[in-house]
Amino acid sequence: RSCPANEAFIPPKFCDNRIVSSKYTVWNFLPKNLFEQFRRIANFYFLIIFLVQVIVDTPTSPVTSGLPLFFVITVTAIKQGYEDWLRHKADNEVNKYPVTVLEDGRRIRKESEKIKVGDVVEVEENETFPCDLILLQSSRDDDTCFVTTASLDGESNHKTHYTVPDTEKDLESLNATIECEQPQPDLYKFVGRMHIYKNNQEPAVRSLGPENLLLKGATLKNTQKICGVAVYTGMETKMALNYQGKSQKRSAVEKSINAFLLVYLCILVSKALVCTTLKYVWQSKPGQDEPWYNEKTQREKDTNLYLKMFTDFLSFMVLFNFIIPVSMYVTVEMQKFLGSFFITWDKDFFDPEIQEGALVNTSDLNEELGQVEYVFTDKTGTLTQNNMEFIECCIDGFQYKYRDASSELDGFCVTDGPVYLDKWEELFLRALCLCHTVQVKEPTEGFIASSPDEVALVKGAMRYGFTFLGLESKTMKILNRNNDVEMYELLHVLNFDPVRRRMSVIVRAISGDTLLFCKGADSSIFPRVRQEEVERIRMHVERNATEGYRTLCVAYKYLSAEEYAQADAGLREARLALQDREQKLMAVYNQVETGMSLIGATAVEDRLQEEAAETMEALQGAGMKVWVLTGDKMETAKSTCYACRLFQRNTELLELTVRTLEDGGRRREERLHELLLEYHKKAVQDAPPVKAGVTRSWSLTNQDYGFIIDGATLSMVLNSSTESNSSRYKNLFLQICQNCTAVLCCRMAPLQKAQIVKMVKNSKGCPITLSIGDGANDVSMILEAHVGIGIKGKEGRQAVRNSDYAIPKLKHLKKLLLAHGHLYYVRIAHLVQYFFYKNLCFILPQFLYQFFCGYSQQPLYDAAYLTMYNICFTSMPILAYSLLEQHICMEVLLDNATLYREIAKNAMLRWGPFLYWTLLGVFHGLLFFFGVRYLFSNPALQDNGQVFGNWSYGTIVFTVLVFTVTLKLALDTRHWTWINHFVIWGSLAFYVFFSFFWGGIIWPFLRQQRLYFVFANMLSSVSAWLVIILLILLSLLPEILLVVFRKPRGPHSRQIAAVTPLSYKHLKERQ
């Protein structure tokens, strides 16, 4: 891929700079939106039913199913249309944004969308880059510019970007081409090459890296203006590539719904099949099909027999289609949407520090919060505060502790070190001042860096008298103890990366000495320094690490002129490489950073988050397995785990790290194999089989295991040399982990975190996973897990933006899961089961009636009742229930984490409870129908001898039905607020009122006045009253019985499939 700079020739293959994030246009909105909506299986099903009703002569009018469908489709379309309109507006704002483009030496104002690849764009301070640009010219003297990428990756610090070296100041005469890689979404990777053509000279080649690339969406800071050439435009910019489609997460409840739906679909089809078959069997008897009083129309007589069979089948489908309720989807959506407000409204999630509460990015996963089995948490910033404080340092084996004592003016106290070490001290502090990428924030005294450790170190050095004054055109200035300014020329920065786990700078002092300072994790520094120095420091480092401090080792080395020249050449060459640049750079880095001498080590404290330990304990008590995934070193992470009480004193630690692998002195692979088997034996085979629903007391009697693994070992486990071993190791590893109470994975790269989450997610039983993190490095695991939680921490907002829920502090996780998650799960599970139940006992009498009406598809209920049942009569109580129910109050839920185990593994939506609800529905349906059937064996039910007809029959059944399902819900309601009262009694009153009203008037638009005074006449009959009361009571009797029967059976009964909310009250009683 090549793009010309300042050349007239523009290849047509590049797209323009228009960002299109909207899905629809005015023209294609209707068809496209409808198409999208009907791709949803439920909508499609209702559409089919509606079409059948329109085409075939069916028992119910198309309105009964068309109206609700129309309503659902319209509401969704309006919502999506509005969202898309917002996107259009946003797109337009971006696309029409005026930018300055240099063309033939003139400055032209253009709309942003007209920028083409190769255009030279001028951007001023605080403006956003309109596309991905290669920085050619900056108004700053040092050929740099500062940008902030807060809107891209959430990092609010200023990043330095560099102009392409050696481009001429006069852009007009610049003639160059740029070769760069195909667009790719990684924000931090860019490889390119610029050929600069000068008159009659060999074209000069300059390498381009991410430091030359200004990304669309980033903002120019602290720089007056820059010029850059567009390389990626429009949908090819890294920002656009990054934000395409965050895959939608679906909750386990939704999967359950779909499974139940399938069952009901089968019931529906089999009902229709049974009826169709019986109809033709029945009709084959002489005189039944067409008695003299009921002749067929000419059209019916003419229709082909098989076609008629088919249309009969469809008619039955239509008649029974209410068994799959369109309104359930609306109610579930509403419940989720409205329910999520309670999370944002919760004042317990409000953090006064950042003045923010919880944030809900998706409401689809509310109930998933109650199903979490594995919690993956980041350490830094999540378990700990990411509020670094320099605690102590160790220079050449002597410990220096910073005391916050004002008595000593320099604040530097030597505890056990002799004074002659001054030279080392100063070297150490200089190293701290030089070896970093910290910037001095200009307006106020302060530092900005991507890593808070660095700030802590620079601040620590400042306290000891060495102040870093800033970096100006590659010169670092340091104010030393004697208030002299020392100048160092910054020659190279060997950037930090998580694989090397160290960074270095090469500086040249005024004296002309070339120095390399390196700081990094002990494991990466120790092998690169002289071994005799190590021992003295190692002790301190390890002690600090066990105390939970973050330790870094500092080393230095003098570079001779030759060495430097060699290193310089190597670095330049590697940076120019177009392919495998990373590997080449890495090789050079490794080559340079050898043979250093160790100066000392630092210890930085990272305090635990408030109530971190309590939260973790509660999560473990709730049966969740907590895994800590961190990039930190093992000792630090381990001490954090101890501090968080993830590991207890009696926890037996199973370690699988590079250190344990190297213990035996044998090949790592063999040792790995051995250890895996050993741990497996210990943790899996010797442990008694784990049953579902383990109680806390049960697990206490057994040995707890904690498992520790590091990144290097993990990659060995996952990417073993042989294919067969790999899957076997993976299995062993998983089994060990699943039997451990806590797992610590340290030294993880971000991608490895996601890998682990994915591995657990796809393991046997598909456990629900939750990831919580605060930094950009947690995004991958937040996106991978079922539920991603972002902490509004210090490391930018990227985690928050990619999360499903964001909370200000870790401690809020407890309430989010134990209280909100639990309640939402119970609510939605009950909602789903109840919906299926109430529609089953709604349609079953209709089905049974077919046996008494010659399988003629005669509906039992009036069309108004058929339509209104799910929309008006029974929808509001369940919605109110599913928003307000607290079968156990929040305080109890928070105090008793074990309650969370009650609903683990989708307990209320498994086949057991589903069967229970289905049987209940069948029982009620049978009762309603046959109760009224036997009453109607003598239809003279009024005291004046007059008789009731078929519509009275249906109305009695329907009245019993509405009252029973509403009262059933009332029985299940454990938390009666005034809203519940209002809605439950209100719906019943509304039903009675509506029935009177509907039957009280001759409706001119109705073809048949079927219900005229049917309801009023029904109420005038004592027998009807008696049968209604009898049937309602009889239906609810088993419910009440269950309550009483369940109690004596004690806690075991709760593990039995039939979990109804009623059973929870025992728990409550016991507390």
Closest CB 1050 distance from other proteins, rounded Å: 7
**What type of residue sits at position 825?**
Y
Q: Is 100 in the site for other proteins (CB under 8 A)?
A: no
Taking CB under 8 A as the criterion, which residues in 172-211 touch other proteins?
none
Q: Which stretch binds other proteins (CB under 8 A): 80-88, 370-378, 586-594, 650-658?
A: 80-88
Among 222, 566, 977, 1053, binds other proteins (CB under 8 A): 977
Q: Residue 660: name the closest of 746, 536, 547 by CA.
A: 746
What b/e sequence results for 479-495 when a residue is b if at least 16 CB atoms lie within 10 Å of its CB, and e otherwise? beeeeeebebebbbebe
Closest CB 192 distance from other proteins, rounded Å: 25
Looking at the Cβ atoms of 635 and 804, the one nearer to other proteins is 804
Helix (H, G, I), strand (E, B) or coil at 6: coil
**Could you give the CA distance from residue 594 to residue 757 in angstroms, rounded to a whole number?**
36
Q: Is 54 in the site for other proteins (CB under 8 A)?
A: no
Which residues participate in the annotated binding site for Mg(2+)? 378, 380, 774, 778
Taking CB under 8 A as the criterion, which residues in 730-749 touch other proteins?
none
**Are 973 and 1033 a contacting pair, CB within 8 Å?**
no
Q: Is 83 in the site for other proteins (CB under 8 A)?
A: yes
Q: How many residues does the chain have?
A: 1071
Q: Is 694 in the site for other proteins (CB under 8 A)?
A: no
Q: Which stretch binds other proteins (CB under 8 A): 642-650, 739-747, 774-782, 1000-1008?
A: 1000-1008
Q: Is 283 in the site for other proteins (CB under 8 A)?
A: no
Q: Residue 994: name the closest of 979, 1009, 1011, 969 by CA.
A: 1011
Looking at the Cβ atoms of 54 and 1022, the one nearer to other proteins is 1022
Cα angle for residues 521, 522, 524 (degrees, 5° grid): 70
Looking at the Cβ atoms of 215 and 716, the one nearer to other proteins is 215
Q: Is 584 in the site for other proteins (CB under 8 A)?
A: no
**Could you give the CA distance from residue 450 to residue 503 in angstroms, rounded to a whole number?**
13
Looking at the Cβ atoms of 587 and 1022, the one nearer to other proteins is 1022
Torsion angle of the four alpha carbons 207, 102, 174, 10, in this order, in degrees rounded to the nearest 10: 70
Which residues participate in the annotated binding site? 378-380, 454, 496, 519, 550, 630-632, 747, 753, 774, 777-778
Q: Is 115 in the site for other proteins (CB under 8 A)?
A: no
**Are 212 and 137 a contacting pair, CB within 8 Å?**
no
Taking CB under 8 A as the criterion, which residues in 854-913 touch other proteins?
854, 856-859, 884, 886, 889-890
Radius of gyration, alpha carbons of the chain: 36
H or E element that contains 228: strand 225-232
What is the token pair recorded at 282?
A: 């029945």
Looking at the Cβ atoms of 222 and 731, the one nearer to other proteins is 222
Taking CB under 8 A as the criterion, which residues in 292-331 touch other proteins?
292-298
Taking CB under 8 A as the criterion, which residues in 780-839 touch other proteins?
797, 800-801, 804
Looking at the Cβ atoms of 319 and 457, the one nearer to other proteins is 319
H or E element that contains 929: helix 911-935
**Are 390 and 463 a contacting pair, CB within 8 Å?**
yes
**Could you give the CA distance from residue 952 to residue 1027 in angstroms, rounded to a whole number?**
13
Q: Is 943 in the site for other proteins (CB under 8 A)?
A: yes
Among 279, 931, 961, 1015, binds other proteins (CB under 8 A): 931
**What type of residue sits at position 21?**
S
What would the x/- binding string for other proteins be over residues 348 to 387, using CB under 8 A? Answer: -xx----xxx-xxxxxx-----------------------
**Are 121 and 115 a contacting pair, CB within 8 Å?**
yes
Q: Which stretch binds other proteins (CB under 8 A): 91-99, 603-611, 679-687, 773-781?
A: 91-99
Closest CB 336 distance from other proteins, rounded Å: 7
Among 341, 911, 982, 997, binds other proteins (CB under 8 A): 341
What is the token pair recorded at 846?
A: 């209709």
**Could you give the CA distance from residue 880 to residue 16 in angstroms, rounded to a whole number?**
51
Looking at the Cβ atoms of 345 and 985, the one nearer to other proteins is 345
Q: Which stretch binds other proteins (CB under 8 A): 391-399, 655-663, 826-834, 968-976?
A: 968-976
Among 177, 755, 1017, 1060, binds other proteins (CB under 8 A): 1017
Closest CB 202 distance from other proteins, rounded Å: 40
What would the x/- binding string for other proteins be over residues 205 to 234, using CB under 8 A? Answer: ------------x-x---------------
Tell me whether residue 775 is exposed, middle or buried, using C-beta atoms within 10 angstroms of its C-beta: 0 to 12, 13 to 18, 19 or more. buried
Q: Is 1044 in the site for other proteins (CB under 8 A)?
A: yes
**Are 440 and 478 a contacting pair, CB within 8 Å?**
no
Q: Is 1048 in the site for other proteins (CB under 8 A)?
A: yes
Edge-first strand listing for the sheet containing 359-360 = 359-360, 805-807, 787-791, 769-773, 374-378, 625-629, 742-746, 705-710, 652-656
Strand locations in 363-465, DSSP E? 374-378, 384-395, 398-401, 439-440, 447-448
What is the token pair recorded at 825?
A: 């799960």
**Are 344 and 299 a contacting pair, CB within 8 Å?**
no
Closest CB 911 distance from other proteins, rounded Å: 26
Q: Is 1051 in the site for other proteins (CB under 8 A)?
A: yes
Closest CB 956 distance from other proteins, rounded Å: 10
Q: Which stretch binds other proteins (CB under 8 A): 87-95, 188-196, 447-455, 836-844?
A: 87-95
Q: Which of the residues 132, 364, 378, 396 is marked catalytic?
A: 378
Q: Which residues sit opposite 360 in a β-bridge?
A: 805
Tell me whether residue 34 is exposed, middle or buried, using C-beta atoms within 10 angstroms of its C-beta: 0 to 12, 13 to 18, 19 or more. middle
Using CB under 8 A as the binding criterion, the count of chain residues that bind other proteins stands at 134
Q: Residue 860: name the closest of 841, 836, 875, 874 by CA.
A: 841
**What type of residue sits at position 31?**
P
Closest CB 899 distance from other proteins, rounded Å: 13
Closest CB 548 distance from other proteins, rounded Å: 32
Q: Which stretch binds other proteins (CB under 8 A): 113-121, 146-154, 222-230, 467-475?
A: 146-154
Among 18, 87, 193, 225, binds other proteins (CB under 8 A): 87
Query: What end-to-end distance do the CA atoms of the chain give, in Å?
Result: 70
**Could you give the CA distance from residue 281 to residue 284 in angstroms, rounded to a whole number?**
5
Closest CB 753 distance from other proteins, rounded Å: 21
Closest CB 350 distance from other proteins, rounded Å: 5
Q: Is 1009 in the site for other proteins (CB under 8 A)?
A: yes
Edge-first strand listing for the sheet containing 132-138 = 106-111, 98-103, 120-124, 225-232, 132-138, 213-214
Q: Which stretch binds other proteins (CB under 8 A): 149-157, 377-385, 482-490, 894-902?
A: 149-157
Closest CB 853 distance from other proteins, rounded Å: 4
H or E element that contains 65: helix 62-95
Taking CB under 8 A as the criterion, which residues in 606-665 touch other proteins?
none
Q: Is 29 in the site for other proteins (CB under 8 A)?
A: no
Looking at the Cβ atoms of 71 and 350, the one nearer to other proteins is 350
What is the token pair recorded at 161?
A: 């970007």
**Could you give the CA distance from residue 478 to residue 496 in angstroms, rounded to a whole number?**
22
**Are 829 and 421 a contacting pair, CB within 8 Å?**
no
**Are 998 and 867 a contacting pair, CB within 8 Å?**
no
Q: Is 947 in the site for other proteins (CB under 8 A)?
A: yes
H or E element that contains 716: helix 711-718
Q: Is 974 in the site for other proteins (CB under 8 A)?
A: yes
Among 243, 412, 424, 990, binds other proteins (CB under 8 A): 243
186 is catalytic: no
Closest CB 86 distance from other proteins, rounded Å: 6
- Which residues are marked as active site? 378
